[in-house]
Amino acid sequence: VRGIIVHQHGCGDGSCKGSVTAAYDLHWQALAKKNGCALLGPSFHQLKEQNCRLWCDPRNGSDEVFVKSLQALAEQSGHPEIATAPWCLWGHSGGGFWASLMQMTHPEKIVAIWFQSGTAFGYWNAGETPAPEIPEAAMRIPMMANPGVKERDGKPPTGAWGGSLAMFKAYRAKGAPIGFAPDPASGHETADSRYLAIPFFDACLSLRLPAKPGDPLRDLDPAKGWLAPLLSSDTAPTSAADFQGDVATSVWLPNETVAKAWHAFVHTGAVPDATPPPAPTDVVFDPATATLSWKAEIDFESGLQAFLIEREGKIIGQVPEEPRNRYGRKLFQGMSYGDTPELPLQEFRFVDGSADQAAGNRYRVIAVNSAGLKSS
């Protein structure tokens, strides 16, 4: 295990309950698999009436619990490297608050951070929570702040928009590699941000993971990144060497692929995709139960929306019958407000109740990604 991708839920009992499926998310698993990482969905238990700061401020004990849990997982899994592997931190709302403080106590452990509508920065600047010391190493971590434009107006300056923007400006002025990705299509929900967050982490893992596991994380070369003007989506990003604006206020992006995805995202809240998903394999029909099963690699750019079931050249069904997602593109596993799969988890199986089991039917399974593209 070269690293751990931490998908940290937000405040409230609903977020805590929804977090239990985070590690089963097929798209996030694809990111982990590509980079030799584990995917971890911590779940802190919070009653509806309890103050979220009891856990989302890691200085109240969740830092120690998190580290000890990784040590226990390392022992129980037979992977001792889990105890010391570096982290990518994705945090929504209170999870972003938590990540912004973990950044100050564990900067040498963190590959990159995605602040999904949340940071403690505005609160400690306003004196509402104790301000941490900011080590120099914390300003070398690549970061992305991603609030929703719909949570901008009429909100306090400590909130998701105001706090994220203030944090971006302060850290960027220090030379930190941080980007700002306002989602024009969302409020506090996570919406379709995963289609930018996943390539962002992929780029940062490629740039920072050491060749030899256990060695220190590699530092970034800021001159090799891409830059764009802040809150000016009409101007396309350029390589750092070609950037003509004010570097101290510019949006930092790790590479050209992420830069192009970011530019599309801040315009529409979506990232386009022109590549079809991989075709499913190992399609097997069990005549005793009339059940079709298969295996599939998940489309890295757009995840998975559904599977079409073809028998003798004709489409006879779809799994799931109606893909769902109240907060963004329809997905095979659905998606909660906090970017986690909905229960019950879908399986790669289809029962063909109309099959003539003696006829030796020929089946084909077609994958459909969230952009609507089909496998060949």
Statement: residue 232 has pLDDT above 70: yes
Q: Is the pLDDT of residue 358 over 80?
A: no
Average pLDDT over residues 182-208: 98
How many whole angstroms separate alpha carbon 195 and alpha carbon 328? 11
- The sheet with strand 87-92 has its strands ordered as 37-40, 3-8, 87-92, 110-116, 143-145, 178-180
Q: In what order do the strands lie in the sheet with 238-239?
A: 238-239, 226-228, 251-253
User: 191-203: per-residue pLDDT in tens?
Assistant: 999 999 999 999 9
Beta-bridge partners for 367: 307
pLDDT(316) > 70: yes
Dihedral (Cα; 97, 101, 103, 107), 10-degree rounding: -170
pLDDT at residue 111, as a whole number? 99
Give the pLDDT score at 17: 86
Pick from 362, 347, 346, 345: nearest CA to 284: 362
Q: What does the pLDDT look like over 25-40, one tens digit per residue?
A: 999 999 999 999 999 9
**Percentage of the chain with pLDDT > 70?**
99
Residue 317 in this model has a pLDDT that exceeds 70: yes
Strand runs labelled E in 197-290: 226-228, 238-239, 251-253, 281-286
- Residue 349 class from Cβ within 10 Å (0-12 exposed, 13-18 middle, 19+ buried)? middle
d(CA 107, CA 110): 6
Say if residue 359's pLDDT is above 70. Answer: no
Spatial distance between the Cα atoms of 337 and 344, rounded to a whole number of angstroms = 16
Pairwise CA distance, residues 62 & 111, whole Å: 20
Q: Determine the pLDDT at residue 355.
A: 66
pLDDT tens-place string over residues 239-277: 999 999 999 999 999 999 999 999 999 999 999 999 999
Give the mean pLDDT of 282-305.
96
What pLDDT was estimated at residue 180? 98
Q: Is the pLDDT assigned to residue 306 strictly greater than 60?
A: yes
In angstroms, the Cα distances linking 94 to 81, 141, 189, 261, 363 are 28, 20, 13, 26, 46
Domains of the chain by range and CATH? 3-268 (3.40.50.1820), 281-368 (no CATH)
pTM of the predicted model as reported, rounded to 2 decimal places: 0.95
342 and 324 Cβ atoms separated by less than 8 Å: yes
| pLDDT at residue 47 in the model | 82
